[in-house]
Amino acid sequence: MERNLLLTIEYDGTHFSGWQRQPGRPTVQGTLESALSAVCGKEIRIDGTSRTDAGVHAYGQRATLKGEFGIPTERLALAVNHRLAGGMRGKMAAGPIRVTDVCEKPMNFHARFDAKGKTYIYKIRNSENMDVFQRNYCYQIPRPLDLPAMKLAAEQITGTHDFQCFQASGGTERETTVRTIYKLELRQAGSDIQIWVTGDGFLYNMVRIITGTLVEVGMGKIPPTAVASIIESKDRQNAGHTAPPQGLYLGEIYYELQEVPGYDE
């Protein structure tokens, strides 16, 4: 019997050329499809929700695959993770990609088109002491950041706006650049700052440009009250820099609006 399976996937994107499969280049999608094909004994193709860039990580990427598979649904994650970890390293080993959950969905369900919202997390280490072991997992900024100013700027980003100013060139052309940011929260613990942003969808490099803009606010380069005008200008040149990919994590994907943080009917 044909099944439609929804995978939840976490990965370290450091050594991958992004999510989407590319000929001759290591990608998350391509690597996962190879492991699934080996386990299922047939060629497997998956449809992911978010096409993360090179160096970007994920806690909760989602993807669907359809077909007839001999392996039981509840055994698929274990078998694939064993393959992704090298196959000979033992049950406790983990590779750079790990399937954390597999569940059956209706045949008309699609991981990308049925998504109602996403949360991204951007990690900043705000310390003059640079950490070589964190270089692939956060944006290290030695200059002190003004967190209250950044929070004031973040308030102007929430809501429904035309976010053309936060879109980088080179991505897939969209019918509209209007998006809704349901929630944008800055959390601090010691020298670590995390930016949690939840929306109904995101433009190319949107979270990284929002982060770069907030960082420049924190550095005093952009007044916190100027962010609303930057959005209204619809001009990429007025926004801040594009923060590096290694600090970005795809946190979670939601399929029910009621589950989306900050969503208000």
Q: Is the dihedral of CA 81, 84, 85, 90 positive or negative?
A: positive
Distances (CA, A) of 55 to 2, 127, 173: 35, 22, 22
| Candidates 53, 200, 235, 264; catalytic one | 53
Kindly state the helix (H) or strand (E) to which residue 230 belongs, with its residue range: helix 227-233
Neighbours of 92 (CB within 10 A): 6
AA identity, residue 73: T
What is the C-alpha separation between 52 and 260, in angstroms, rounded?
A: 20
User: Is-catalytic flag, 162?
Assistant: no
Q: Which residue has the tokens 């929630």?
A: 183
CB 57 within 8 A of CB 11: yes
The residues that are catalytic are 53
